Amino acid sequence: MTEQVDPLAPIIAALKEPVALAPDLTARIMASIEKLPRQPVAWWRRRWTVEMTPLRALAAAAGLAAIMFASQAAGRRAGLPSPEALATSPGSGRTQFVLVASEAKEVSLVGDFNDWSLSATPLERDGGNGVWSVTVPLLPGRYRYAYVVDGVLWRPDPEAPAAEDEFGRPNSVLTIGGA
Amino acid sequence: MTGPSDAQVIRRVLAGDREMYAQLVDRYRDRLGRYALRMLGERADAEDAVQETFVRAYRSLSRCEPDNFGAWVYGILVNRCRTNGARRARNNARMVADEAAMARASVAHTEERDTLRDAIHWALERLPTEQREAFLLKHVEDLSYETMEQLTGVRPSALRMRVLRARDGLRKLLAEAVRD
């Protein structure tokens, strides 16, 4: 059996040749970035250095306990359910996301509500029927979201209105509570 | 790959070490530049697209999954090339509106076809943008149709058709270039 040669192979090889960009391109890019405000560092990512004396540690522990007690009391006053109650009570703003993907090995839900994190909201497979689902507590509002199959394949929800993000990727839109 | 992984670099940049971002730029600029140059045809336009891509990526870095930076930044570039290519096409349309300019362009094209590389450039530029994009992603960047769908938002069946049409178009255009 003779192997078929792609008639465009020399063209493709020529197109694959590396190109020489300006040596100072990296410097130009970094100069543009220097003009931008620094990345907003999320408070949980910042490095904190706290010097503690035994007396200060005691005071901090007391303060922390007071804050926890106050926030629980405030939650009860506002009628907010505890996280445990939210997980079990019906009609508490919980939204179920479902995707049929029989070939998938893993599916994640990414969206405005979880900072587009691939690891924050994995879907669970319902037996061997290819149905994946997860239930997420969401407050009223408008959310953009998508599914990511096997960590790479970006899928909008086929059952929801579509919207592109600024990178041209297809997302879906979910509106809760007529927001 | 030597040195810290993309994910390690991104975490440091997000923690405030902005200068580390240069490592990501150095790591990806040539590959992105090759795609941009093949798509846009002019080195200055390609460098602009690469620069805009890295600046946009920096602005949105907190939205990037750190282990997936390469594919993510590539998606931004594909989009920049679409936008910048459309703008350039409009400018070119205005430029060739007078006959003298068209005559100059014609002479330039004849000279360009002297070498294989220039013939390829000439032919590639004449493909419809969406066919050129699909051809380059498939055959030059060696991406799967699934990854191409992720980057372009276009279904694999449509992408396959674009690649086929691009291949047909290139063959015809290159035959024309050789005949001339």
- Alpha-carbon distance of B176 to A74, in angstroms, equals 77
Smallest Cβ–Cβ distance between B150 and the set A19, A40, A153 belongs to A153
The CA distance from B102 to the nearest CA of chain A, in Å, is 27
* Contacts with B49 from chain A: Cβ below 8 Å: none
CB A39 within 8 A of CB B62: yes
**Best residue of A6, A25, A106 to probe chain B, by most B CBs closer than 10 Å:** A25
List Cβ neighbours of B108 (8 Å cut-off, separation of 6 or more).
none
Encode pLDDT of B41-100 as tens digits.
889 999 999 999 999 999 888 888 888 899 889 989 998 898 877 666 555 544 433 444
Look at A167 and B59 and tell me if their CB atoms are within 8 Å: no
Look at A45 and B55 and tell me if their CB atoms are within 8 Å: no
Residue type for position B148 = M
**C-beta atoms surrounding A69 within 10 Å:** 10
Kind of pairing, strands A162-164 and A170-176? antiparallel
Smallest Cβ–Cβ distance between A39 and the set B34, B62, B78 belongs to B62
Q: What distances in angstroms separate CA B180 from CA A14, A15, A83, one per listed residue?
A: 21, 22, 74
Per-residue pLDDT of chain A (179 residues; tens, 9 = 90+): 555 788 899 899 989 998 989 999 999 999 999 988 765 444 334 433 344 445 555 555 555 455 444 434 443 333 333 332 223 333 457 888 888 887 788 888 988 888 777 778 999 988 777 788 898 888 888 888 888 887 767 788 877 788 776 556 678 888 887 54
ipTM score of the complex? 0.80
* Contacts with B65 from chain A: Cβ below 8 Å: 116-118
| Chain mean position to CA A52 | 35
A127 burial (CB, 10 Å; 0-12 / 13-18 / 19+) is exposed
The H-or-E segment that residue B81 falls in is: helix B69-95
pLDDT of residue B117: 80
pTM of the full structure: 0.57
* Contacts with B56 from chain A: Cβ below 8 Å: 166
Q: What distances in angstroms separate CA B122 from CA B113, B118, B126, B159, one per listed residue?
A: 7, 6, 7, 23
Chain B residues 30-59 with CB within 8 Å of chain A = 30, 33-34, 37-38, 43, 46-47, 50-51, 54-56, 58-59
Give Rg (Cα) of chain A: 25
Encode pLDDT of B87-137 as tens digits.
665 555 444 334 444 444 444 454 544 577 888 888 998 999 999 999 999
- Alpha-carbon distance of B35 to B170, in angstroms, equals 17
